[in-house]
Structure 1
Amino acid sequence: MTARLPAVRGTIINLCSALWLLAALNQPFWSALWDSVGGWQASRAGFLVTLPLFALVWVWTVLELLTWGRAAKPVLGIVLVLSAAVAFFMHRYGISFDRGMFTNVMETDPAEARELISGSMVLWILGLGVAPAMVIAMWPRAQQSIVGTLTEKLLTLSGLMLVAGAILVLQSGAYISLFRSHRDLRLQLVPTNYLSAAHSYAKVKLKPKREIEQISLGATRVASDPSSQHPMVLVLVVGETMRAANLSVNGYERETTPLLAARQNLVNFGRTESCGTATAVSLPCMFLDVGRGGYEDGMAFRRESLLDVLQRAGMDVWWLSNNSGCKGVCDRVQVVDVPATLPGDACGPGGCQDDVLVSALQERLDNVQRDTVVVVHMKGQHGPSYYLRYPPAFERYRPACQDNALDRCGPEQVVNAYDNAVSYSDYILDRIIMALQSQADRIDSSMIFVSDHGESLGEKGVFLHGMPYSFAPTVQKQVPFMAWLPKATQDRLGIDANCLVSRRDQLSHDNLYHSILGLTSTQASTYRNDRDVFSSCRTGPVVGGNPKRERQ
C-alpha cells in the first residue's frame, strides 16, 4: 500500500514556498544586497545576520496575505511559476522589475515575445516553477474551519510582524540607511517586485475612462513663404532602441553611420536625454507637451498629442509603422501597419526589416498634395535578437551574436550584432533622405530622426533596457537626435543650420514637441519657444511671425 503524505497546515506550505523563492529564485537580489552592504564586516554582524531573516519574514507575509482557503494552492502555484519566469529574465539580462517593466511585458506584441523564448527558459520555468507548484498541488493540506483558518492567519501574521518590528527596532539605523541609499533593492526581490508592479499597472489601467483632453484648440499655421507652391513635407523617423553611444557621428570608434556622416545639410544634435528607458514610456512622452516631468503612465490615451495639434492646424498626418503600436499617440490620425499590407511570407522570422518602411514612405510621397507630416516608426535595434534586424549583407562586424540569450554570447559578439543593426539603420535613414530628394521638384521636405530609448549591451551584466530611470545606466537614457534640412527648406523657413550645431549634446525628448511645431510653422497654445531648438536659429521673421503662445 502506498503511504499517504501527511497533511500540512497552510502556514507551513507558505513557509516552505517562501524559503524556495528566496533560495532558488533570488540570486540577483542576494548579489545586489551583498554589494549594497559592502560584504561581510564583523562590526556589522548583527545587521548582516538579520537580513535573510527579514527577507524571509517579508516574503512569507506576502504569501500569507495572498493564500486563502481552497484558492491557496492555485494561487501559490501561479506565484511560483511567475516567479520562475521573472527570475529567469532578471538572471539572464540583469534587469530590475518595476511598473515600467511590467508595462513592457503587457504591451509587447507576439513577435517580440517569441524572440525572448528559448529552450533554457522553458527548462528553467519547468524546473524552478512548475515542479514545486506540482509538489504543492499534490501535497495534502490540513482541513481547517473558517474560524481555525482566520485564527492561524492572525497568529502567523502577528508573529511575523513582531519579528520584523524587533529587527527594525534593534537595527533601525542600518535598515534606514539601506532603504534610503538602495531603493532599487525592492525591484530585485521576487515575488514582491512583480506583484507590486502589477498592482501599480492595474491602478492605472482601471482608472475610469474619460474623454480625451483636447489641447491647442485654436492651432493654426503660418504661411512660411507665400511665393512657394510646393507642399511642405516633414518626415519624423522614430528609432527603436538606438543608443547614442554607438553612432560614429557621435564619436564612436566604429564607422556605424558613414552614410549619415557624408550627408550635407544634416544637423546632428548628439546625445539627447530620453523621456524613459522603454517604448511604453518614451514614445508617448516625446509626443506630448508635458515633458518628462509632467508625464504619467497612459497619458497619451487621455490627452491629445502633437499629431492631433498638427492635424487640427490643417496638415495631413500619417503614421507608418514597422513596430508594435504607438501607445495611443496615433489613435486619431491615418495609420498604416506596413507589415500587415504585405503578403504573409514577405518577412522573416523576426518580422519585417525596416526597408519596407522606405517603400511605404515612397508611395505616400508620390501622393502628397498638401502640407504633410509622416511619422515612420522603425523596428530599429529591438533586442535581444539584434541579428534579425538586418539583412546578411550588413553583417560587417563578426562574429555576431546569433542567439536571443545574450549572456551565452561573448561581449564582443553582442556589440557586433548591435552595431550591424545600427549600420542598417544608417542605410535606411539615408534611403529616406534619398526618397525625399527624389521629390525635390514638387515638395519642400525635411527629416527629423530621434530614437525612443537606448540599450544596455552587457555592461556590468545588464542587457536590454527598461531599467527604472533614476538608476538606469546612461546608455539606456541617451539617444540620437538629428535633422536633415535641405537648402530649399532652410531658405523657406529662415533657418541657419550652422547655428543649430551649437545645441549639440544639450537636448532632451522635451524639445521634440515644440521643435516640430516650430518647424511646421504651427501656432499653438501649448508651444514653448524656449524648447524649440530651431527658434533661436532663424535668420529672419517667418511671414506671420514665429510660432508663439496663444492666449489661453
Structure 2
Amino acid sequence: MTKPTTDNTANSSSFAWKISLSRPMQILLVSVWLLVFSNTTFWTTVWQGIGGWDNGSPLFLLSLPVLALLWTFGLLTLLAWGRMTKWVLGLFLIVSASASYFMNSFGIVIDYDMLTNVVQTDTREALELLSPRMFIWIALLGVLPAFLLTRIETRKFSWKRELSMKLVSVVVALAGIGGIAMSEYQSYASLFRNHREIRLQLTPSNVVSAVNGYVRRELKTPTQLEVIGADAHRQMRVGNAVKPRLTIVVVGETARAENFALNGYKRDTNPELSKQDIINFTNASSCGTATAVSVPCMFQQAGRDDYKPSMATSREGLLDVLKHAGVNVLWRDNNSGCKGACDRVASVDVSNLGLADICEAGGECHDEALLSGLQDYLDTLKDDTVVVLHMKGSHGPSYSKRYPQAFEHFTPVCQSSELDQCSTESIVNAYDNSLRYTDHVLAQTIKLLKANQTRFDTAMLYMSDHGESLGENGIYLHGLPYAMAPQQQTHIPMILWMSQGMEETANLQPGCLQSVKDKAWSQDNLFDSVLGLMAIQTSVYDPARDMFHQCQAPQQASTISGAQEKGVN
C-alpha cells in the first residue's frame, strides 16, 4: 500500500492547519460549499418548481441535493488535476460567488449570450455594476473559502493512486446520477421540462457550459469575410428636382415598448414625439435580449431564426451593402461599439469628444452628443446618405445617469446600481426619465432632418436594441435567453418619421403605413426596409421583409445600368 504524505508545495506555511485531506475530499468539501452558499437562486427555483413540501414524494425531495452534489463533484473532479487542484477550486469558488451575486441581485441566468455581454461590456458599463455589497458577497462566499482551502495540507499519493481515486470518483458520481435519474425519471423530466432555466442557474456548471459554448463558437467563426450584395446599385429617379436621400437610423438602448406613452403607457414619456407626425409601430420585437446579439443581428439579412453570432464579424451586413451601392454611410456611437456592424464604414465615437455642455466631467456623454457636429457633416454631402446613431439610451442599472438633471421629471429616483435594494417606484421613475430624454433626442433628430429638407429627402427610423426588466418577478436588466425572456425584454419601440419629399420619392401610398402600424414587425425588417427606402437594388434584397414595399404604388423608377451606374457610384 502506498503511504500517503503531505504535499508541501504552496502548503508548507507555518500557518497551515494541522489537517490533511486527499484531493477528492477537498473537491467534495468545495462542492458542498458551492451548493449551500452559491446556489440560492437555483434552490429557490427548484423548490418553487416542485411545489415545496407539497410535492408528495419524499424520495424525490431527498434525491435533489444528492443529485446536485454528485453532478458538481463529478464536474470539478474532471476539471481539477494534480497540483493545480487548489488553484482550480479557488477559481471556481470566486467565479461562482460572483455569478451567484448577479443571479441573486438581478434575476439573470448564466449562458453563452450572457458571457458574451460580459466580454463585450466596456469599462464604464462594468464600473456601474460594482458596489460594496458585491465585494462583500464575493469576499465571504468566494475569497474566504478559497483562502481557507490553502490552509489545508494535501495528502499526496503516487500518480497511479491519484488517477485511480479520480476514476473511482467519476464513476461513483456518474453511477449515482444515473441511478437517481432512472428511479425518479418522471419527476425530473417534469421539473426540467417546465423550468428550463434551472440548468442555467446551477453554478459552477452554468459557467463551465457558457465558457465552453463561447470558446467553441469563437473557434468556429470563419476567418474570411463573406461578401454580400456586391451587385448593389441605386435606382435612377426621373425629374429635374431630384434630391439625394438622407436616412438616419437610430439604434436605441434598453427601451421597452411597455413604457412608451405612444403605446398607451399611463405616464407621459413621449411629450415631444407625440406632437410630431410620426408612425409608431406598436408590435415590434427584437432579435435578441442583449446588445451583443441584437445590434449585429438587426444589421444582418439572416433574421433572428437564422442569425449566428459568428456573422457579426465574418459576414457583411446592411451598411456594407449600402456602401457597395455608393451610399455615404456613417456610424456615430455613444454606447459600447457597433459589435461588428460598422467595421468597414466610417465611424465616430462621440463619447470621447469631451463636449462640455453634454458630457459629464470625467464621465459619460448624454445622447445629444450624437447630434453634435452632425450638421457640419451633412453640409459636406451631395449624395444619398445613411447615418446610424447608436444611443446610450436607458442602459441599466444606473438609469439616473442616462439623462441630464433637467429631465428628472419623475421622483424619487433610484441612484444605486443595486436595483434589488431600491423601491420599484424609484427604479421605474429613473427609467421613465431616461425615456423622456430619449424622446427629446429623437425629436431633436427630426428637427435636424426638417432643417435639411431643402437639400435632402429625409427620414428617421428608430428602434431599440432590446427591452428591459424592472423587477417583474424578481428579474432586472436584460439578457435572458430569448425563449425564457419576458415580453418586457423583447417588445421594443419602433418609430418612423419621414418628410413629404421622402414619402413621395419612395412612392408610398398616403396613409398606408398608418394602416399597418399595428402589424407584427421586428428587427428582421430593418435590412430590407432601409434598402427599399434608399432605392437600392441587389440580389440579396427581399421585398417580403421590406415594410415599405407593400405600401408602394406601381413603380415608376428606372434602374441605373452600365455607364450611368458607374457615374453614380
Contact preservation (8 Å) 2:221, 2:310: no
Work out which of the residue numbers 340, 348, 353 in structure 1 matches 2:352.
340
Q: Give the total of aligned pairs.
A: 545
- For 1:252, the equivalent position in structure 2 comes to 265
Contact preservation (8 Å) 2:16, 2:152: no
Query: In structure 2, what is the Cα distance between the partners aligned to 1:48 and 1:497?
Result: 64
Contact preservation (8 Å) 2:335, 2:351: no
Contact preservation (8 Å) 1:493, 1:542: no
Matched, 1:300 2:312: yes
Contact preservation (8 Å) 1:350, 1:388: no
Query: In structure 2, what is the Cα distance between the partners aligned to 1:268 and 1:486?
Result: 15
Contact preservation (8 Å) 2:355, 2:369: no
Contact preservation (8 Å) 2:354, 2:365: no
Contact preservation (8 Å) 1:249, 1:257: yes
Query: In structure 2, what is the Cα distance between the partners aligned to 1:21 and 1:316?
Result: 54
Deviations 1:478-503 (A, max 9, x none): 10111101112111221135111222
1:271 deviation in Å? 2.8
Which segment drifts farther, 249-258 or 135-144?
135-144
Contact preservation (8 Å) 1:115, 1:350: no
Matched, 1:513 2:527: yes
Query: In structure 1, what is the Cα distance between the partners aligned to 2:503 and 2:231?
Result: 27
Matched, 1:11 2:24: yes
| Partner SS for 1:206 | helix
Work out which of the residue numbers 531, 539, 545 in structure 2 matches 1:525.
539
Work out which of the residue numbers 45, 48, 56 in structure 1 matches 2:69.
56
TM (norm. structure 2) is 0.93
Contact preservation (8 Å) 1:224, 1:493: no
1:367 deviation in Å? 2.0
Query: In structure 2, what is the Cα distance between the partners aligned to 1:64 and 1:524?
Result: 55
1:35-74 to 2 correspondences below 5 Å: 35-41=48-54, 43-74=56-87
1:224 deviation in Å? 3.5
- For 2:41, the equivalent position in structure 1 comes to 28
Question: Identity percentage over the alignment?
Answer: 43
1:4 deviation in Å? 4.5
Which segment drifts farther, 537-546 or 9-18?
537-546
Contact preservation (8 Å) 1:350, 1:389: no
Given the superposition, is the C-alpha separation of residues 139 and 541 from structure 1 closer, same or farther in structure 2, using an over 3 Å criterion? Answer: same
1:342-421 to 2 correspondences below 5 Å: 342=354, 346-348=359-361, 350-421=363-434
- For 1:550, the equivalent position in structure 2 comes to none
Matched, 1:95 2:115: no
1:208 deviation in Å? 5.7
Query: In structure 2, what is the Cα distance between the partners aligned to 1:140 and 1:243?
Result: 54
Matched, 1:159 2:160: no
Letter in 2 for 1:521: A
1:47 deviation in Å? 1.1
Deviations 1:180-202 (A, max 9, x none): 22221100111111110011001
- For 1:435, the equivalent position in structure 2 comes to 448
TM (norm. structure 1) is 0.96
- For 1:284, the equivalent position in structure 2 comes to 296
Letter in 2 for 1:483: L
Query: In structure 1, what is the Cα distance between the partners aligned to 2:474 and 2:313?
Result: 35
Query: In structure 1, what is the Cα distance between the partners aligned to 2:81 and 2:124?
Result: 37
1:439 deviation in Å? 1.4
1:45 deviation in Å? 1.6
Deviations 1:34-59 (A, max 9, x none): 11112223632211210111001111
Query: In structure 2, what is the Cα distance between the partners aligned to 1:138 and 1:353?
Result: 50
Query: In structure 2, what is the Cα distance between the partners aligned to 1:373 and 1:385?
Result: 31
- For 2:508, the equivalent position in structure 1 comes to 495
Deviations 1:89-123 (A, max 9, x none): 10000111111101000110000000000111111
Query: In structure 2, what is the Cα distance between the partners aligned to 1:105 and 1:463?
Result: 16
| Partner SS for 2:78 | helix
Letter in 2 for 1:145: S
Matched, 1:148 2:161: yes
Query: In structure 1, what is the Cα distance between the partners aligned to 2:263 and 2:381?
Result: 34
1:226 deviation in Å? 3.6
Query: In structure 2, what is the Cα distance between the partners aligned to 1:85 and 1:466?
Result: 17
Letter in 1 for 2:103: M
Query: In structure 2, what is the Cα distance between the partners aligned to 1:4 and 1:469?
Result: 48
Given the superposition, is the C-alpha separation of residues 31 and 391 from structure 1 closer, same or farther in structure 2, using an over 3 Å criterion? Answer: same
Letter in 2 for 1:332: R
| Partner SS for 1:253 | coil
Contact preservation (8 Å) 2:283, 2:491: yes
Work out which of the residue numbers 558, 562, 565 in structure 2 matches 1:544.
558
- For 1:319, the equivalent position in structure 2 comes to 331
Deviations 1:286-315 (A, max 9, x none): 000010010011212111000000110110
Matched, 1:211 2:211: no
Deviations 1:8-43 (A, max 9, x none): 111111111011111111111001111111222363
| Partner SS for 2:57 | helix
1:105-120 to 2 correspondences below 5 Å: 105-120=118-133
Letter in 1 for 2:162: T
Query: In structure 1, what is the Cα distance between the partners aligned to 2:74 and 2:556?
Result: 65
| Partner SS for 1:292 | coil
| Partner SS for 1:416 | helix
Query: In structure 1, what is the Cα distance between the partners aligned to 2:104 and 2:275?
Result: 42
Deviations 1:491-531 (A, max 9, x none): 12211351112222310111111111110001111111111
Matched, 1:478 2:491: yes
Taking only aligned residues, the RMSD between alpha carbons, in angstroms, comes to 1.7
Query: In structure 1, what is the Cα distance between the partners aligned to 2:164 and 2:195?
Result: 36
1:418 deviation in Å? 0.2
Letter in 1 for 2:327: M
| Partner SS for 1:516 | helix
Query: In structure 1, what is the Cα distance between the partners aligned to 2:55 and 2:433?
Result: 50
Matched, 1:460 2:460: no
Given the superposition, is the C-alpha separation of residues 42 and 215 from structure 1 closer, same or farther in structure 2, using an over 3 Å criterion? Answer: closer
Letter in 1 for 2:545: R
Work out which of the residue numbers 274, 278, 288 in structure 1 matches 2:286.
274
Query: In structure 2, what is the Cα distance between the partners aligned to 1:392 and 1:18?
Result: 48
Deviations 1:356-395 (A, max 9, x none): 1111322322222211100000000000000000001100
1:350 deviation in Å? 4.9
Query: In structure 2, what is the Cα distance between the partners aligned to 1:4 and 1:194?
Result: 31
Query: In structure 1, what is the Cα distance between the partners aligned to 2:554 and 2:55?
Result: 71
Query: In structure 1, what is the Cα distance between the partners aligned to 2:17 and 2:101?
Result: 34
Query: In structure 1, what is the Cα distance between the partners aligned to 2:452 and 2:303?
Result: 34
Contact preservation (8 Å) 1:233, 1:372: yes
Deviations 1:206-234 (A, max 9, x none): 22642111112211111244433422111
